[in-house]
Structures are given as structure tokens and as C-alpha cells.
Chains A and B, each alone.
Chain A
């Protein structure tokens, strides 16, 4: 069955960096687009970034554009989110999610359990 396992969360100071990973299994990772979605404590879902199956296109929310970079290594079945210049408002649980196809216009069909990022001094 599909499994998505996020890691790399933790406490980081404002202005710092963190790299999240999402290890995928149970499906052919290289065929599917992938997303990152976050949820601040007690708040709703916020879409963060998307990457196509082959990495040829990436999309970002305005709130993270220029600071976050989504990438993937299809040989390792792993999705990444490099987060730089972190701010307090980036504090959230970060979920990786599998799209229902290779491209952008597909819903998010499977979700990991999330990893918590706390930005605090």
C-alpha cells in the first residue's frame, strides 16, 4: 500500500534553514506529481508547493516563493522541501501528498502523517 513518511522537522531559529524529506513506497514514485501542504497549529490547510513527476515543473505558494525549494530524487523515491529564511509564520505540520497523476491538475490522494516545524528563538 502507499506509504509516505515525512522527516526532518524540528525547532529552528528565525532566519534559519531546514530540509524536510518524504520517503515514498508502495507505488511507482517516478510516475506521480507530489505536493507539500502545511497546517499551522489550530489552523486550516495551506498548500505550499508542487513538483511534476520528472521535476520539470514546480509551483509555489506566494508565501514561500523565493524561500522554499521543492525537489525530488526519483532514484531514491524521496521528495524534499528545502526551507530557508524561516519565519515564525512557517511554524506548522508539513505534509507530503501524492497527486493522482503526473501533472498539476490532479487531486491529492494520499497523505503522510506530517512532520512538525517550529520556528522560534
Chain B
């Protein structure tokens, strides 16, 4: 099983700041089958990024993903008020298709 670790656990930032989150895998994620999701309280997750770096349809270009192998990063270039949420990475290259524990972005 591929274990995903996300850091930091919580990120306290102000609107307009840059946010960078890390997702580290216990073994290489095949073909960069790594996705990112955003979840706000009381809502279902929202699909953001696939293939480590490709934005899903309708996702603003302030969201970007990078990385390969075991180290991946999600960056939000300038935080908007609606971006304060929890962000999860997930690998979908090998079963079980595990999620990371999440990074919460809250308002400083």
C-alpha cells in the first residue's frame, strides 16, 4: 500500500498570499497518477488536479501542481477567500487508491 503524507497539517495565510503544500508518497507513484482535491466544510470534495500537474476543467490557473516519483506539490499562487479549505492528495496508480491526511488552509 502506498502511504501518502501531507505537510504541513495546517497553513495559516492571508488572502493574496501564496500557498504551497507537499504530498510525499512512501513509494513511487506510477505514471504520476496523483490527484488533488479541495474540500470545504459540509461539502463533497472537488477535483482540482490530475496527473500531478494537469488542471481539471474549470479550475482557475492560480492552482498548479508539480512533482513526480514520491514528491508532489500543490501551489495556489494568490489565495482568494474561497480557497480556504482542506486539500487532499490521492494516488490512483495502484490499489488501494489512498488519500493523504489533508492540509487545512485557514485565514491568518
Q: List chain A positions with a Cβ less than 8 A from chain B.
A: 35, 37, 44-47, 50, 59-62, 95, 100, 104-114
Interface of A is mostly: strand
Instruction: Flag B40-51 by CB within 8 Å of A: 1 or 0 each.
Output: 000011110010
Assembly CA distance A114 to B41 (angstroms):
13
Q: Check if A47 sits within 8 Å of B1, measured CB to CB.
A: no
Q: Check if B47 sits within 8 Å of A108, measured CB to CB.
A: yes
- Which residue of the partner chain, among B31, B47, B101, contacts A44 with CB atoms under 8 Å? B101
Q: Check if B96 sits within 8 Å of A47, measured CB to CB.
A: yes
- Which residue of the partner chain, among A47, A60, A106, A110, contacts B98 with CB atoms under 8 Å? A47
Q: Check if B56 sits within 8 Å of A35, measured CB to CB.
A: no
Other A-B pairs, 18, CB within 8 Å; known A104-B92, A108-B45 = A37-B99, A44-B86, A44-B100, A44-B101, A44-B102, A59-B95, A59-B97, A61-B96, A100-B50, A105-B33, A105-B92, A106-B92, A107-B47, A107-B92, A108-B47, A109-B47, A111-B44, A113-B44
